[in-house]
Amino acid sequence: MKQKSISYAAMAGLLFILLYTTAMIRFATFSSPRNDVDIDAPPLHRDRRVIDTDAASNDAHHPPSMILPINQRKLDSSHGNTGPGGVRDVLPGLLSLSSQARKIDETGLPYPCGAILYVHLIPGEAGDALNEWIAQLVESNEGASLISSEEHTSKQVFINEVVTNISTIGRKEWIIINSHTTNGLSFSNDKEIMHYWMSILERQQCKFVAAAIFSDPLDHSIKHTKRRYAECNDCENEEFEESIMDELSTSNPWMGQLDHFLYNRNDKSTSAVVTKDKVKSAIQLLINHFDLVLVDGKGNAISDALLKITGWTSRSRPRKATVANDDEGPNYSKNLVNAYIKMSTKNGDADFIDAVNHVYYNSLVYLMLQ
């Protein structure tokens, strides 16, 4: 009896070793980086699609459910997709991009003087709250000033005023520059303007910091919808939802974040550019020219970064957007949410913010551990 127990224990131990070895081999196969990774491929792969929850699917790899790009990659990889865009191809390239991104050296903060350019793509009340807080921060701190493109008659007038002010900046002075949709920069074409501003400040031993704040694609669409509803007088929920659905099915009712960031407009010329190329250009712009790249609601807030960089103080933070009237707003049905996702896939926002999350938040690192 004792010999049988020992035999059973030995067999169990051998079985455990066999299963453990198999798991380790599978892990090593999955997580080992490829040497032939094309940096162009990672965040830009086109073989990602939104699956309509109402459509029947005979593809066992893609069951009928709403799948965002990050989940699509994970699903593809679990079924052995090793081709371009599979996780084994995508992840190493994204991690290398992350190491190339500009970063602020916090050991040198606060900086003695400078200018902070910020662009945020947070629609609705949350975006308004951020602008209001920054304006109040400037008012309450000595040596601070604010220049917003929205308050100027043209883009060139806005650019000229920035040059005039940063050319005479003094020690312990800071200028906050808000590039707004109205008369703001289009970063695909205005890189040299940013370089020029930086060179003026560096000659005076001051710093130039560029910050971009984006939104989750679904959150971006919902905030736009809430703003539309708030501006609609005496709208019935059902009627309003139908009108939004009609717009989403025929056009883009608001500018996507990718087009906004690159071109500050959305027209036939921008729509003609291949989405893959737009995402690649936008990510390269961020890596090369922006010191702070944030997604609203994730990680550190822009408010904390501004205080650290400038050495300013504030007893408050941007107010939270109210949710008191959500019950009175439109019904975010399955069809409406699906329409949002399809729009963000079509206009490139899904891929763009997905790539931003990979590069700046390491959002796929966990896949290396599977």
* 247-306 residue pLDDT tens: 888 888 899 999 999 999 877 788 888 888 899 899 999 999 999 999 998 866 899 999
Q: Is the dihedral of CA 224, 228, 230, 236 positive or negative?
A: negative
* Phi, psi dihedral angles at 184 (to 5 degrees): -85, 180
State the Cα–Cα distance between residues 39 and 42, nearest whole angstrom: 6
Nearest-angstrom CA–CA distance, 175 and 225: 33
Q: Supply the pLDDT for residue 227.
A: 87
Choose between 99 and 149: higher pLDDT: 149
User: In the block, which residue shows the tokens 């609203």?
Assistant: 296
pTM for this model (two decimals): 0.74
Distance (Å, rounded) from C-alpha 134 to C-alpha 119? 12
Q: Where are the alpha helices (DSSP H) in 152-301?
A: 155-166, 191-203, 217-231, 237-250, 257-263, 268-271, 275-289
Q: Rounded to 5 degrees, what are φ and ψ at 263?
A: -120, -15
- Domain extents in the chain: 1-32, 106-366
- Separation of alpha carbons 94 and 42, rounded Å: 6
Q: How far is CA 48 from CA 60, 350, 354, in A?
A: 15, 10, 12
Q: How confident is the model at residue 41 (pLDDT cuts 50, 70, 90)?
A: very low
What is the rounded distance in angstroms from the CA atom of residue 339 to the CA atom of residue 224?
Answer: 14
Q: Enumerate residues 6+ apart whose C-beta is below 8 A from 310.
A: 110, 111, 116, 141, 144, 174
| Of 237, 370, 360, 201, residue with least CA distance to 296 | 360
Q: Answer whether the bond into residue 110 is a cis peptide, omega within 30°.
A: yes
* Residue 153 structure tokens: 């008659």
Is residue 73 within 8 Å of 85, Cβ to Cβ?
yes
Looking at residue 328, what is its pLDDT? 63
Looking at 177-191, 257-271, 309-323, which range is the least confident one?
A: 309-323
Give the Cβ contact number of residue 26 at 10 Å: 11
Which range has the worst mean pLDDT, 14-18, 64-68, 80-84, 332-336? 64-68
Average pLDDT over residues 150-154: 96
Query: In Å, how far from its chain's centre is CA 261?
Result: 11
Res 11 pLDDT > 70:
no
Tokens of 152: 């100027």
**Which secondary-structure segment (H or E) carries 7?**
helix 2-31
From the list 82, 62, 64, 80, the residue with the least C-alpha distance to 72 is: 62
Residue with tokens 């945020």: 120
Average pLDDT, the chain: 77
CA distances from 344 to 45, 49, 241, 295 (A): 15, 11, 18, 16
Side chain identity, residue 95: L
Q: Please list, in sequence order, all residues whose beta carbon lies within 8 angstroms of the beta carbon of residue 40, skipping any fewer than 6 positions away.
A: 280
